[in-house]
Chain A
Amino acid sequence: MLEGISKFAIPVIFILILSIGLEKDVKVYDVFLEGAREGFTTVVKIIPPLIGLMVAIGVFRASGALDILVYILKPLGELIGLPREAIPMAILRPISGSASLALVSDIMQKNGPDSFVGRLVSVMMGSTETIVYTMTVYFGAVGISKTRHTLPAALMAELCSIISAVWVCTLLFGR
């Protein structure tokens, strides 16, 4: 049953969106192209940050600095059952979207996308957004300087979702 949801999700979403579009007389192909072009611009825009951050993460890993950081933070990770390869992800995810994108790609290249860690960082990447960036843009736009409990509450929510990601991945895919 659970496997069926992930398996049929894509075809069902295609069928649903296309039939509703046709029913509402949407020029589906023209609109598709318009949206795809927007996606194209988005991807082109993230290539420079990806280059910068992949280089930084690459150097950090190749030099052995990553091993030192992971060694220091290992006890914290063990507390919530987080494998050591995924620890840097828990730190970077709230700070930068493109940095965590680069990190997920790096982790999947080293461990394989279908390994436990590969799946886990995929879920971590998909289930929360970049807290710091969102706060900067939205609060900055209206000139709010006292953000009260926003950051701590968002970080705690992220922690909950990491714990749930570890748990769900173990349950669905095994360790």
Chain B
Amino acid sequence: MISENIPWSEKYRPKNFAEIKGQDAAVSKVKLFLHAFPKKKSIIFHGTPGVGKTTLAYATALEKDAEILELNASDFRDKKKISEIIGPAISQKSLFKSNKIILVDEVDGISARRDRGGLSELVGLIEKSAYPIIITANDIWDKKFSILRKKAEIVALKDIDYRTVVSVLQDIAKKEAMIISVDVLTSIAVRTKGDLRAALNDLQMYSKLESIDAFGDMGERNREQTIFQALQYVFKNSKIDQSMIKVYDEVNMSVDQIFLWIEENIPLEYKGEELAKAYDALSMADVFRGRIYRKQHWRFMIYQYFLLGSGIAAAKNGVKGGFTSYKKPSRILKIWLNNQRTAKKKSICQKYSKLCHISLKQAMRDFMLIKIILNNSKIREELKLNDDEITYLDK
């Protein structure tokens, strides 16, 4: 019984290097680091959430047959605490195993100002430590890490390709004796955008649901009802009143998401002049959003929400009757799918731009012309294009 409640992301966490999927480049970099140790004492794994940073750390420990001593960002509140914890550990022998690896997880959480001393303490420890120190981070290019970066080997973990995610999900579904179509697995993989942990969570939740219908939106269902109601109020109501400014208060979504929902559904309700007026209001709301982001001018939220509510509502010429089945926003998914499709174009342009001393951006802009030139087997060989890239060019 207990085992059923373990998150699958834990249950199926890869144990060793061989089991880790979709991060071959990172794994081989780690092997090189271990081989060269102590040339560099520390190694940083960075990447977006759910791509396997912590997993890779534990697999590294297994590879070295080492015990892991884990620290969280919250442990770095001050210098004293950190030396108390790590200080003895870097000199003592482990009780059970001869090796030790120190894992500092989610180093992003350390604030350069508030946890003054924490980062420099960490840097000091790296110098003293007799054991490898693994650091994980989402964004290692932040300014505050500039000193840390110099002390460590940096390994980037890529977002996991959706096809890899699908194959992992398939494996696990099989082990759990689930019956599930590849389409559903693909939609999970696409939606979770390379975050394998999120994909596994979705799959596990799905396994507990009775029917596919209920799955459609898991958790999102509630949220959808509230946005449906808000949209209906704004699009159908003939009278505009003060309460319209609060129409999105009940909607459990980010404002960016609300923008997308309105954008998607304006053409379902409005035509001609109404359509133009409604998009004009949305466009102005977006201008205020831009100012809020850039200048942190929170007061402008009033105008942003006013335009999203009353602004959109006032675009109509009279009462709107009937029931409209509002659509989910589709643009973000389209952008994501396009990026997947153009990944090959990008990798081709990368190779070409290196050879020809131009920027990747320039190569992307000139791609239609470059494509014709690349219709030449000698050049393809020269650029070391792989089979996937050649298929993309020939298609």
Partners in one complex: no
Q: Which residues of B contact A (CB under 8 A)?
A: none
A contact set with B: CB distance below 8 Å: none
